[in-house]
Amino acid sequence: MAKILCVLYDDPIDGCPRSYARDGIPKLERYPDGQELPTPKRVDFTPGELLGNVSGGLGLKRFLKESGHQLIVTSDKDGADSVFEKELPDSDVVISQPFWPAYLTAERLAKAKKLKLAITAGIGSDHVDLKAAAERGLTVAEITYCNSVSVAEHIVMLILSLAHNYIPSYQWAVDKGWNIADCVSRAYDIEGMSIGSVAAGRIGLGVLKRLKPFDVKLHYTERHRLPEDVERALGLSYHGDVESMARVCDIVTINCPLHPETEHLFNDDLIGKMKRGAYLVNTARGKVCDRDAVVRALESGQLAGYAGDVWFPQPAPEDHPWRTMPHHGMTPHVAGTTLSAQARYAAGVREILECWLEGRPIREEYLILKEGRLAGAGARAYTVGNVTAGSEEARRFRAEGRPLRPAAVRRARARPARAKRKAARRVA
In 280-428, which residue ranges form alpha helices assigned H by DSSP?
291-300, 339-358, 376-381, 395-399, 407-427
- Do the beta carbons of residue 260 and residue 386 sit within 8 Å? yes
What letters, b where the CB count within 10 A reaches 16 and e where it falls short, cover 366-401?
Answer: bbbbbebebbbbbeebbebbbbbeebeebbbbbeee
Q: What long-range pairs does 210-214 form, CB within 8 A, spacing at least 24?
A: 210/152, 210/153, 210/156, 211/156, 211/159, 214/190
- Do the beta carbons of residue 218 and residue 236 sit within 8 Å? yes
Of the listed 314, 320, 328, 350, which one is catalytic? Answer: 314
CA angle 168, 172, 174 (to 5 degrees): 110
- Do the beta carbons of residue 345 and residue 91 sit within 8 Å? no
Sign of CA dihedral 109, 97, 333, 236: positive
Using CA atoms, how far apart are residues 295 and 327, in angstroms rounded to an integer?
Answer: 10
Phi, psi of 403, rounded to the nearest 5 degrees: -65, 150
Angle between helices 148-163 and 166-174 (to 10 degrees): 70
35 is catalytic: no
154 is catalytic: no
Beta bridge partners of residue 195, listed in sequence order: 218, 251
Of the listed 154, 320, 333, 396, which one is catalytic? Answer: 333
Of the listed 154, 202, 285, 320, which one is catalytic? Answer: 285
Count CB neighbours of 160 within 10 A. Answer: 14
Count CB neighbours of 66 within 10 A. Answer: 9
Q: For residue 86, give every residue at least 6 positions away whose Cβ sits within 8 Å of its Cβ, in sequence order, or none.
A: none
314 is catalytic: yes
Using CA atoms, how far apart are residues 259 and 9, in angstroms rounded to an integer?
Answer: 24
Is 348 strand, coil or helix? helix
**For the chain, what is the radius of gyration of the CA atoms?**
22
147 is catalytic: yes
Of the listed 147, 255, 282, 342, which one is catalytic? Answer: 147
Q: Which residues are catalytic?
A: 147, 285, 314, 333
